[in-house]
Amino acid sequence: MFQSEFLKIRKSSIWLLIFVSPLLATVAGFAEPIVKNEGQWAFTLSLMTFVHALLFLPLLAGVFSAFVCRYEHIGGGWKQMLSMPVSRHHIYIVKFGIVIGLLFLTQLLFLVGLLFIGEVRGFSGDIPWKMVLISVMGGWIATMPIAALQMLVSVAWSSFAAPLAINVILTLPNILVVNSAKYGPVYPWAQPFLAMIPHRGDAYFALNISVETLFFVILGSLCVFFLSGIIYFQKKEA
């Protein structure tokens, strides 16, 4: 089933989209003045995160979800797929797996961009792998609830533009919400940014997710959105 989904998208423009946000973030990282100090890795990572995770990463979750469902919405593809001798929840899980896989590749490219900047600019000191990997993996995990909700909307609506419009409307408030101590920790679309912003000890560069936010907002909303999608897909008419 994974191979079948891969064949559908292997020649599509979706592969180009995974480069867009990491490339823009890398350009932004090069735009900063060269400052030789021990915090240059964290500062560059923070600057790249503003470009990558504030808007583009949540938007990509919606684009990828719409892409993996568009072929079934064209020419009665759902009827053909749902008539196959495979369970519906397996179909849904595979499609969601493709989406989070594409998001993972996007995060890897973001990491490559950060390391490239550090190599070209000759950052002093060792690479702070713990901080960098927590940021990259945290952003990936924090995007999963958005991807789960967008999968549900993309499966339910045949329109390619409608799910994307909803995601844009919900992502744009991030510019204000991420700086709110009240709403930032509970707004799902703000979590990718908050999870990727690095901090050293008590010197926070911005708000950071708490344990409560991780379990109740991120993992909790992931379970709710994903299970809702599974239940809807089980009852969906071909």
Q: What is the pLDDT of residue 113?
A: 96
Question: For residues 106 and 3, which has the higher predicted lDDT (pLDDT)?
Answer: 106
Q: What is the pLDDT of residue 78?
A: 76
Q: What is the pLDDT of residues 165-218, one digit of tens each?
A: 999 999 999 989 988 888 888 999 999 999 998 865 543 444 457 778 888 889
- Find the mean pLDDT for residues 45-59: 94
Question: For residues 58 and 126, which has the higher predicted lDDT (pLDDT)?
Answer: 58
Asked if the model's pLDDT at residue 234 lies above 50, the reply is yes
Rounded Cα distance, 157 and 139, in Å: 27
Contacts of residue 173, Cβ cutoff 8 Å, sequence gap at least 6: 187, 189
Question: For residues 206 and 151, which has the higher predicted lDDT (pLDDT)?
Answer: 151
- Find the mean pLDDT for residues 47-58: 94
Number of C-alpha atoms within 13 angstroms, CB side, residue 88? Answer: 16
Helix, strand, coil % (nearest 5) of the chain? Answer: 75, 0, 25
Question: For residues 76 and 185, which has the higher predicted lDDT (pLDDT)?
Answer: 185
Asked if the model's pLDDT at residue 156 lies above 90, the reply is no
Number of neighbouring beta carbons within 10 Å of residue 135: 26
Q: What is the pLDDT of residues 89-108, one digit of tens each?
A: 888 999 999 999 999 999 99
Query: CA nearest 139: which of 202, 223, 50?
Result: 50
- Find the mean pLDDT for residues 154-171: 88
- Find the mean pLDDT for residues 17-23: 95
- Find the mean pLDDT for residues 18-38: 84
